[in-house]
Amino acid sequence: DAKTTQPNSMESNEEEPVHLPCNHSTISGTDYIHWYRQLPSQGPEYVIHGLTSNVNNRMASLAIAEDRKSSTLILHRATLRDAAVYYCILRAALYAGGTSYGKLTFGQGTILTVHP
């Protein structure tokens, strides 16, 4: 399974930008990079995803390295509500039978603490 590596924890102050890194050196050419976050006692929530180009949405931005072996989730202005565990995962684009399609591997994620 394609795996990702993230720092165990990061801290930020409210209203400041946060850059959450993720390494995925074994990424294949058809793997999408997805980010989800999980608040206590809730299911994970979608944040953003991309394939090759940088992506922006109302929640965050995703910066993908040119060789696609790493990516960075950017929260432009952290709020207390952004405190969560952030997971970076790889998802195959196409089903080709017998592959790891759909078999997601979650690492331990990054615990983000936001200080008031």
Partner 1 sequence: KAGVTQTPRYLIKTRGQQVTLSCSPISGHRSVSWYQQTPGQGLQFLFEYFSETQRNKGNFPGRFSGRQFSNSRSEMNVSTLELGDSALYLCASSVSGSGANVLTFGAGSRLTVL
Q: Reduce the DSSP state of residue 70 to 3 states and report it.
A: strand
Residue 80's SS3 state is helix
Q: Is 19 an interacting residue with respect to partner 1 (CB under 8 A)?
A: no
Of the candidate spans 18-26, 62-70, 71-79, 96-104, the one that interacts with partner 1 by CB under 8 A turns out to be: 96-104
Minimum CB separation of residue 32 from partner 1 in Å reads 3
DSSP H or E stretch at residue 28: none
Binding flag, residue 3, partner 1 (CB under 8 A): no
Q: How many residues does the chain have?
A: 116
Task: Calculate the CA dihedral of residues 11, 14, 16, 17 and round it to 10 degrees.
Answer: 60
What is the per-residue binding string for partner 1 in 51-80, x denoting contact by CB under 8 A?
x-----------------------------
30 in Cβ contact with 101 (< 8 Å):
no
Rule CB under 8 A: which residues touch partner 1?
Answer: 30-32, 34, 36, 42-46, 49, 51, 87, 90-95, 100-109
